[in-house]
Structure 1
Amino acid sequence: MTTFLLIPGAGGAGWYWHLVSAELSRRGHEPIAVDLPAADETAGWPEYSEASLAALGDRSEPVVVAQSMGAFTGPLVCARIPARRLVLANPMVPAPGETAGEWWGATGQEQARKEAGFGPLDMPGDFFHDVPQDVTDEAMAGGDQSQSGFSFAQPWPLDAWPDVPTSVIQGVDDRLFPLEFQRRVVRERLGLELHEAPGGHLMALSRPVEFTDVLLGLVTGG
């Protein structure tokens, strides 16, 4: 059995992982989905790390999985504890000292979207285009999941990437971070190649079985 610490992206809702959690449990693993204080204008990366570690408790050597903006938190957790692996899913890969607000311009995300044929950002369409309607309805019924301005303005505090095996899973239909854009960013910032998975930006909601297959393949060396 492996413990998976599942860190969400912007909005901070551990609910994002509920379908993957069910799939991991079905296969004999222990998922722990973290709720982050995302709307708290006094909470930043240290508080997000503490929330993640509190959820983990005394469990040892987890696989840390971080989605999108959660990639700012996942490495901080791995810098604090021994982790078996860090897996980033459709991530915003941070650079030392960079804020989440600066990340978009520094990586050229907007131009990459244009080159991929996407127009102005359409939140429901770009995020939920491949998520089943019943799951989308449940997400929308969850109420406000805003992300604090403070978190976008706080520099990422690490001087270097933590010494932990790291993998990146990228949804091939991600409209927010197109595939070739992510391939370039991950190579430049981590020196890694992507592991592709079906689905868009919220692939843990749209393709949870396939995402879990890829995730467990990385952990087991498959």
Structure 2
Amino acid sequence: MARFLLVHGAWHGAWCWSRLSALLRQRGHEVQAVDLPGVGEAPERVGLVSLDDCARAIVAAAGSQPAWLVGHSLGGAAITAAAAMRPELVQALVYVAASAPLAGETHLQALSLGPSGRAVPHMTIDAERQVAGLERQDRLAAFYNLCSPAVAQEAVAAGATWQALGPAVDPLRANPPAEIARFYVRCGRDETIPLETQAALCGRLALADTATLDTDHSPFLSDPEGLAGILDRFERGEHISRGDGQEMPRGTNDVVSV
């Protein structure tokens, strides 16, 4: 059994992992969802947060016990930075519809490898306070397009109004060691990081395995059972990539890749 540290993306918090956390614990895993710096704070403080601050928060959450780091969206940059900072605390990196920047590259630069989704073009930038905003309707369309209406509305209500720009525009200082295993979970109907962009990110990583869920950008809400199954199989070393272009139906545990 593994210890999973779950790291959220932009405009989210540890709250978004609650359904997935319960399912992983049922499978015998230890789970901790991390709130990155700035969550719930005033814009003036949110804008002070850097990518290094996020990495340090993940390292602090890990303590002295190595863990699997699971990063969603912008959380992919954060877990990469944490693994470069303290590689001895990282057993594996799992990217869930996430950016995976290389040394010297930013989150936004990594996303430019393919088409942009619906979030970045609709952001409102407050340059003075170094934060970005995203309207309620844009968050619904970009993040939760396959969630039930009730779940989507709950998520929008829980989400942050402002997101620090630092973690998205700070370049990664160094690459994590190559010996740290890397995995990628693609989301087939993602309106934030389109599947083509996710494929481009995967194409330059030496991945131990990949899988695809037929979900929106938020599989921890739209298909937590499917995501839990993937993470469990990754940890148990069951090679699940088939490379046959098929996608995993929502709500099942038959994991495939594209």
Q: What is the correspondence of 1:51-90 to structure 2 with a 5 Å cutoff?
A: 51-58=57-64, 60-79=65-84, 80=86, 81-90=88-97
Question: What is the aligned partner in structure 1 of residue 104 from structure 2?
Answer: 97
Instruction: Let me know the Cα RMSD of the aligned residues.
Output: 2.2
Equivalent residue for 1:170, pick from 186, 194, 197: 186
Q: What is the correspondence of 1:174-193 to structure 2 with a 5 Å cutoff?
A: 174-187=190-203, 189-192=204-207
Q: Counterpart of 2:219 in structure 1: which amino acid? A: M
**1:103-139 deviations in Å (ceiling 9; x for gaps):** 343x1323xx69xxxxx76432231111122222221
Residues 6-15 or 176-185, more deviating = 176-185
The answer to whether the Cα contact below 8 Å between 2:78 and 2:167 also exists between their aligned partners in 1 is no
- In the alignment, the residues of structure 2 paired with residue 3 and residue 92 of structure 1 have an alpha-carbon distance, to the nearest angstrom, of 22
Pair 1:14-2:19 in alignment: no
**1:153-195 deviations in Å (ceiling 9; x for gaps):** 311111x3433000101112212222233212311x2144631
Aligned to 2:162, the other structure's residue is in SS state: coil
TM-score, scaled to structure 1: 0.85
What is the Cα deviation at residue 17 of structure 1? 0.9
Pair 1:146-2:162 in alignment: yes
Segments of structure 2 that go 5 or more residues without pairing to the other structure are 40-45, 123-137, 239-258
Question: What is the aligned partner in structure 2 of residue 215 from structure 1?
Answer: 231
**Greater helix percent: which structure?**
1
- In the alignment, the residues of structure 2 paired with residue 201 and residue 143 of structure 1 have an alpha-carbon distance, to the nearest angstrom, of 14
Indicate how the Cα distance of structure 1 residues 190 and 18 shifts in structure 2: closer, same or farther if over 3 A, else same: same
Greater relative contact order (Cα < 8 A, sep 6+): 1
Segments of structure 1 that go 5 or more residues without pairing to the other structure are 115-119
Indicate how the Cα distance of structure 1 residues 179 and 41 shifts in structure 2: closer, same or farther if over 3 A, else same: same
TM-score, scaled to structure 2: 0.74
Equivalent residue for 2:52, pick from 39, 46, 54: 46
Matched pairs, number: 211
